[in-house]
Structure 1
Amino acid sequence: MVAGLKATTDHTVQLLSPEGELTPTALSGEYPLEVTEDLLRGLYRDMVLVRRFDREGNALQRQGQLGIWVPLLGQEAAQIGSGRALQPQDMAFPSYREHGVAWTRGIDPTDLIGVFRGADHSTWNPAETRFHTYTIVIGNQVLNATGYAMGQRLDGRVGSGTDGGAPDEATITYFGDGATSEGDVHEGMVFAAAFDAPVVFFCQNNQWAISHPVDQVSRVPLYRRADGYGFPGVRVDGNDVLACLAVTRWALDECRSGNGPVMIEAFTYRMDAHTTSDDPTRYRTSDESEAWKLLDPIERVRVHLVRHSTDSAATAEFFAGVQAEADELAARFRTFCLEMPTPPPDRMFSEVYATPHHQLDRQRAEFLDYLAGFADDGGAATHGGAR
């Protein structure tokens, strides 16, 4: 038995089994969900498309087109399920792996490229998309999310019901099992508990904090850490998109109604490297990865649709259409990356402060003067535009 696999059945919410069988209580249990074929098809499409452009991002980095890529392979259900649980007015704070959540918030995958190509911090407006920019500092987004959620409560945006005013709001923040060792995560949970902040702490436990296994991170299941802060914690099968959707929807409803924070531990697995700078073969076995392949989040939805669809011909056509759409998205993703213009050398100074700053202006002038020393006879700097 691979370490950690048993935990997917102990005190873990699961609605769709690895064999594609739906739990009978899925429609009326503690986390009810109306499961329709249209819902399953939509979630399947989301996961396939997200996995496809994620694989393209990995390939582009290997080919020298991106500085780094952070793969989500294996974590599609956790991200799509939780992302689809969000309402338009809710706010999400990601780390740097939440490409699937970005997809559910309407952010085009091409908007992610600049971050990993080193061309910009982000190209989306968090106020419009309700999806914060990626956070590279481990765990820092949890503090940001808690502060935002405290503001939602202080502004009276929770617990008001539907009295004709603006809908109640909630916040969700994403982090990994390794981030639970960071002070920022602890501090965020302390403040969230003290102020009844409407924030869902969504931990994607993918079993490895880079090269450290989760049993070196915590002696107890991570969802039980919520007990110490005084709010509910739930473990969900992170490879079950229906369970992730149902539990996150419940947790967000709890927060919007004013019942304070909730922690969700999505028990899943990172099938690829931590980033493209990592080599997972140095710290984990192939047997472990092969065992987790049997729990693939996309395959269990596909199997369920094949077995229970009312029209097998329509199902086959649906699968073919999704694959064609995924390939088209990957091609567009690649083309966009290859055709991105190289930013001018002073681009790094342009959006550091909201208003002009004399020290930054001096640094820009010194940098451009330095580059001018490499100019050729035509007056162009030969080093400034290099990637």
Structure 2
Amino acid sequence: MTSTTGRLLDGRYRLVERIAAGGQGEVWRAEDLGLGRPAAVKLLRGEYADNAEFRERFRREAQHAAGLSHPGIAQVFDYSEGDGGEAPYLVMEYVAGESLSAAIAREAPMSVARVLDIVAAVASALASAHAAGLVHRDVKPGNVLLGGDGSIKITDFGIARAMDASSLTRTGTLMGTPLYLAPEQAIGRPATAASDLYALGIIAFELLTGRPPYEGPPTAVVLAHRDTPLPPLPSSVPPGLAGLVQALTAKDPAARPHPAAAVAEQATLLRADPGTGTRRPDETPLDQPVPGDTPLDQAVPGVRREGLTQVLDQPVPPVRRRWALPLALGGGLALLVGLVTWTAWPASDHRPAVVPSPSAAIRHPSATPTKASPRPVAKRPRHATHAPPHRGNPDKKAKRAKHGKHGKDRH
């Protein structure tokens, strides 16, 4: 059955205005006659209404979305299988406002504060879904609703998950919008919570620049997500926010910040101080020193961490090795005194005996002594061991007397 203005579904929901259309369905602003309130009705397109597998996908979407309860997620109120020739439809919370894609077309580039508000709200909603075991798999500006009251809500939860679980999912089929597709999805791997965060990083890039980082034919865009580094952000973007975008769009899922709740918290902190560095939940913020590496010119009053470097407000205490300098001075002085004493010692044969050094004592017996070998024990003076000439020798006296006698006889 063709959807038209004024059409009544199950005698309760009156279609007022079509507000969005997608590949498999269309969304209408409707009036809930039973409760007297506005509602958003999503209907499966007529060409898919008779296909049992597409109807199963639609039913799973309703189940997934109905199981979530968070201020940042558009609630599901009702669901119908579409019996009696009617197309299946689900009734959701109506958000009076516009989609984020419409706001980007009109306002982007957006202010830093506005971008951080959107990132924090979407990350918080994703955290609730991930905690429930659900992955959106199609996070994009068209699925983010901006309420006139300042609310920010994600819609179309569970579509990609339901399609991925269906038997229609085949090898080579990509689930999601190419402009926001994570690299792991581009190579055929299953989407995870990290894939949702990657899409959020791409949205943040588009909010800051007014355009997505990769544009062109779908195949080229998918390959760019897989292989091409993220283009640089404008220099006007504060380093903290730029670092968060870079981290969210890392090619490796394991390198992205996690979980989504930590991303929401970081975006909130950046809202107060955009220059703050970004971190993963298990890391120290990039702009803060790692414990134990406190800068020496930064005083940390009252810090008492055993085994860690610390700088207090009072002057730095003296070095504990107080013996090092006196010992060095004393050793140098002793060496100088010894050298002077050795040099000034009288150069005579009456020097005291030199005791051989230990190294000389273990020298091999056959080794030839060198000039550097210790001198032998000094001998007594030569005049103390020999008699003066012509004295104390009776044999020589007799010989001289005999010769002298013979001499006198000859003359």
- TM-score band w.r.t. shorter chain: under 0.3
Higher relative contact order (CA 8 A, sep 6+): 1
- Kindly indicate which of the two structures has a greater share of residues assigned to helix: 1
> Normalising by the residue count of structure 2, what TM-score does the alignment of the two structures yield?
0.22
